[in-house]
Amino acid sequence: SSISAETNNKECALCGFVIDYVKGQLLKNKTETYILDKLEKVCLLVPAPLQPTCRLLVTLYGVPAIKMASSKVNTTVLCELVDLCPTPTPTPTKTVQNVQVGDTKCTICDFVVGEVEKYLSGNATEAQIITFLNKDCKIFGAFGTTCQSLVQAYVPTIINLLENNQSPDTVCAEIKLCTSRLSKKV
C-alpha cells in the first residue's frame, strides 16, 4: 500500500502543479484555449511516468480546473475534489461519496464518448472500439475497472447515439451517467 500512497502523493503534487499553472495564466488574462494548449506542453515537462496522468488531468479536468481556479478555490481543495489528493477527513459521509462516484462516472463517460467519436471517424468496428477503450481505461488508475465496466455496458448504445447524430455533449446525459445535465436542457 505504500506504493499506491506514493503514487497518490505524486498525482497530488502533479494536480497542484497543473492548477497553480492555470492560476498563473489566469492572472495574465490568458484565454481558456491558450491555457489548455499550454497545459498539454507543460505535461511534457513532468517526469515521464507521470506524463499520461498529466495529459489525462488536462483532458478531463482542464476546463473545470480553469473555471474553478478562476473562482479562487484553494488548490488543495480542487485536487481533493477530483480525487487526486487524499481528503483529510478519514470517513466521508455517504452523500459525498455518492456524488463523487456519480461525477466520476460522468467524467469517464465524457472521455469514452470522445474516444468512441475519434475511433468511429477512423472507421473502427464496434469490437475494435471496445478493445481500444479497454486499453485506454488504464489511464484512470484506480477507476480503470469502473471505466472498463462502462465500456462493456454502454459502448454499443454510445455508438448508436453518435451514428444517429446525437451530440457528444448529450450522450452521457441520455444514458443517465451525467444526471446533473438532464435538468439543464439546452
Residue 93 — pLDDT band, cuts 50, 70, 90?
very low
Would you list the domain boundaries of the chain?
3-82, 104-181
Strands (E), the chain: none
| More confident position, 130 or 1 | 130
Looking at CATH, the fold of the domain delimited by 104-181 is given as NK-Lysin (1.10.225)
CA distances from 89 to 61, 80, 86, 96 (A): 23, 11, 9, 11
pTM, two decimals, is 0.48
Quick check: 121 pLDDT over 50?
A: yes
Grid look-up 474516444 returns 115
Residue 17: how many CA atoms within 13 Å on its side-chain side?
Answer: 21
DSSP code, position 185:
-
**What integer pLDDT is reported at residue 184 of this predicted model?**
44
Quick one: which of 154, 132, 22 has its CA closest to 82? 22
Quick check: 107 pLDDT over 70?
A: yes
Q: Tell the CATH superfamily of the 3-82 domain.
A: Saposin-like (1.10.225.10)
